[in-house]
Amino acid sequence: MNGEPTRIAAPVALGASASPDSIRRAPTVKLRAYLLLAAAGMVGGLAAGLPQLVALAAPFAAYVALGIALERRPRLTVSAEGWPDRALEGHDVSGAVRIQADTAVDRIELELRCGAGVTSQGPLRQVLRLGEGQQEEVGTALQVDRWGARHLGTLACGVSDGFGLIRYELAPVSLGAVRVFPRGETLRELINPLEEQATTGSRVSRQRGEGIEFADIRPFVPGDRIRKINWRVAARYGTPYVTERHPERNADVILFLDTFAEVREGAGSTLKLAVRAASSLAAAYLARRDRVGVVGFGGALTGLGPRFGQVQQYQILDALIGSEVIFSYADKDVRFVPRQMLPPKALVIAITPLIDERFIGALVDLRARGYDIAVLDVSPVPLAPAGKTASDVLAHRLWLLRRAALASRLGELGVPVTEWRGEEPIQVPIISTSALRRRSRTLAA
Amino acid sequence: MSGWLVIALTAGGSGLIVAAVWARWPALILWGLAALGSAYAGGVASGRDVWLTTPLVAAALLALGEASFYGAERASGTDYSGRQAARVLLAALAGLVVSAAVLLAASIAVPSSLVLTLVGTLAAVLAIALPSVRFRRRV
């Protein structure tokens, strides 16, 4: 999955439709206007004794009478077909609307009402004319701006008779709901954990044991396998030497998502960035056969324990698209997180805007418990620019200084903090984090 | 009715219809047509020769109403301009015939009050009873 955008299952057809039985009939503005004009002319003519006024109003009355007398109830079926139930953030969602007319219909008005967060690529209103027994399929494409569960919208269908006096409204047809997965990014380098787990994986461990990658050569000791003897070195020194290798292990990676608070401005949001980062990281780590789990730590605690495989990736995506900030005054700490979600020796990647003290406290607590932590700071700074007054600018500078001090304090605790503003690929802060971790290990050594 | 009032009603009615089409507000068309009809009624009261012009004006008003409603309710993707133009012409022709027939009926040697009473009663019954009967029926 690494390097590939999230794969989506095949579209599923929806059977939403509006049948002829659900037609509602109503007079149009034109009918009311012509009736009023006809009545006014007739009454005026009678009152004033002027047959000319009656003659002026008579065509309107005749038009209404003819239109109502020749009215035929339309019979048509509108159905939405081929709309997918899964999509990728920012990608088009296309489907069709099929209209089957059992009677000739002079004017069919289709109006698409998009759901929240959904925009249309084509015209929202279309007018058709169908003969008896004809059917028409109108295709359209929608774009979903943000991940999450979205209602695509409804299609309102109105039919006017040939005279435009009576309008028939069909029950709106739902286009269904779509689960929009966050857009993933290609990650070539990842943050390596300090310790691996005991199970086999694709990650070359720092430990020595059975493996492929060369680690060292040492003298033979009783108990070593004969097949491990390095015969060239043994021949050169005259005593047996064995080759040591690095075993291939996997790691447990926990994506620790801050859902206490978010900063939002227009279409931008720290939670949106956080979910995008978590999605990319989950896909990349799972592709390397690591076990990945996700914990949404906020007003409501959500999460998945670490597991392998593609099924886990879809479960993580499902968990991520349900991420939302739930405001809460409750004082929470990591004791609330089930132990299965935070296994020992796991690499915890915290994705947070660093604005809620409870989450920062949880990070410090986890570090004190010996967890290997890296912080990806989805920066709220671009979303909260300085005000215009001098005091606003000063307050903004103080806020920036406080954030820098916080990052420095966490760095001193062995928790590297890397800022990501969402403008550059997520690979950039990941590489920076890896470099920071290497530097801190070198300094510690 | 004074000439200025007739001119004002004509201008106001035309403006209302243009505004209705421009703003896609069909409810304005009623008032526009009513204003134009009132302006013509002012001309009738001033004693002009109306026996010839009334059918033409009636046909023109109906055609104007049809065209205005089409313009106010237009939608993208429509290709009905030709059909609608034919429909407007047909409506105008039919309006001309109906209006002339009413005038002809009014001019025959029967008391005009009787004709007016009959026509008015019939129109009132049609205007009230027919829609009531039609719309009371459940779909």
Residue A24 forms contact with B (CB below 8 Å): yes
From the list A372, A376, A339, A337, the residue with the least C-alpha distance to A358 is: A337
B89 Cα to chain A: minimum distance (Å): 13
pLDDT-derived band at A10 (thresholds 50, 70, 90) equals very low
For residues A261 and B54, give the distance between their C-alpha atoms in angstroms, rounded to a whole number: 74
pLDDT in tens, B103-123: 887 777 667 777 778 888 888
**What local confidence, expressed as pLDDT, does residue A5 receive?**
36
Q: How many CB pairs under 8 A join A and B?
A: 159
Q: Does A40 touch chain B (CB under 8 A)?
A: yes
Q: Is the CB of residue B65 less than 8 Å away from at least one CB of chain A?
A: yes
The helix/strand/coil state of A346 is coil
CB atoms within 10 A of CB A84: 20
Task: Identify which of A24, A36, A52 has the shortest CB distance to residue B54.
Answer: A52
Q: What is the ipTM of this complex?
A: 0.79
> Mean per-residue pLDDT for A331-342?
81
Out of B33, B120, B134, closest to residue A37 by CB: B33
Kindly calculate the radius of gyration of chain A based on its CA atoms and give it in whole angstroms.
34
Sorted by where each begins, the domain ranges of chain B are 3-108, 110-139
For residue B54, the chain A residues in CB contact (below 8 A) are 52, 55-56
Using CB atoms, which residue from B51, B95, B116 is nearest to A59? B95
User: Of A191, A422, A416, whose CA–CA distance to A284 is shortest?
Assistant: A191
Distance between CA B87 and CA B100 in Å, rounded? 20
| Structural contact between residues B115 and A164, judged by C-beta atoms closer than 8 angstroms | no
Q: Exposed e or buried b for every residue in A278-290, given b needs 16+ CB within 10 A? A: bbbbbbbbbbbbb
| Mean pLDDT across B22-46 | 84
For residues A379 and A145, the model is more confident at: A379
Q: pLDDT tens digits, residue range A386-441?
A: 888 999 999 999 999 999 999 999 998 889 999 999 888 999 999 999 998 888 77
What average pLDDT is seen over chain A? 84
Q: What is the mean pLDDT of residues A129-143?
A: 86
Quick check: A370 pLDDT over 80? yes
Residues of B in contact with A126 (CB under 8 A): 75-77
pLDDT at A3: 39
CB contact (8 A) between residue B119 and residue A58: yes
B10 close to B36: Cβ distance less than 8 angstroms? yes
State residue A289 phi and psi, 5-degree precision. 65, 25
CA angle centred on B96, ends B90 and B99, rounded to 5°? 135
Confidence of residue A248 (pLDDT cuts 50, 70, 90): confident
pLDDT band at B136 (very low <50, low <70, confident <90, very high): low
Say if domain A17-28+72-181 classifies as CATH 3.40.50.300.
Answer: no
Q: Are A323 and A271 in contact (CB under 8 A)?
A: yes
As beta bridge partners, residue A26 has: A167
Chain B residue nearest residue A110, CA to CA = B75
Domain A252-444 fold is: Rossmann fold (3.40.50)
pLDDT given for residue B99 in this prediction: 85
Place A141 in a pLDDT band, splitting at 50, 70 and 90: confident
Q: Delimit the CATH 3.40.50.410 region(s) of chain A.
A: 252-444
Average pLDDT estimate for A107-118? 85
Q: B91 to chain A: which residues are within 8 Å by CB?
A: 59, 63
Residue B44's pLDDT is 67
What phi and psi, each to the nearest 5 degrees, are found at residue B26?
-65, -25
pLDDT score recorded for residue A192:
86
Q: What are the pLDDT digits (tens) for A259-274?
A: 888 888 877 889 888 9
Contact B99 A55 (CB under 8 A): yes
Which tens digit of pLDDT belongs to each residue from A30-53? 999 999 999 998 888 888 877 788
The reply to whether residue A33 touches residue B26, judged by beta carbons under 8 angstroms, is yes
Phi, psi of A131 (to 5 degrees): -85, 175
Coil, strand, or helix at residue B78? coil
**Chain A residue with minimal CA distance to B126?**
A65
Percent share of chain A, pLDDT over 90: 26
Question: Where do you find CATH 2.60.40.10 in chain A?
Answer: 17-28+72-181
